[in-house]
Amino acid sequence: MANNYPSNDMQNKLNEIAASRARNLEKEVKRDTGKEYSCSPYVSFTSRTEAKVRITTVETGTSCSALYEITNDGRWYCRHDWND
């Protein structure tokens, strides 16, 4: 049976991107509100070339999501993002 997920390297890269986006969101919230919140990233791989990233603010449960896909040159590209 074929593996329907990206390579481990590509999975790790997207996990790093998600963690970075969560840290950036924490900084933006603090800058905009003066309050500190913790943001938790979650990545779900939907195929060999696509994945969904959800970042949730731990204290409020507010989340945002993004769809990512692997480009022809082997990089993750954010195709669409939105607030949940």
pLDDT of residue 2: 56
Rounded-to-integer distance, Cα 14 and Cα 44, Å: 10
Predicted TM-score (pTM) of this structure: 0.88
Give tens-digit pLDDT for 23-78: 999 999 899 999 999 999 999 999 999 999 999 999 989 899 999 999 999 999 99
Q: What is d(CA 29, CA 72) in angstroms, rounded to the nearest whole number? A: 34
Name the residue type at position 49.
Answer: T
Residue keyed to tokens 């970075």: 20
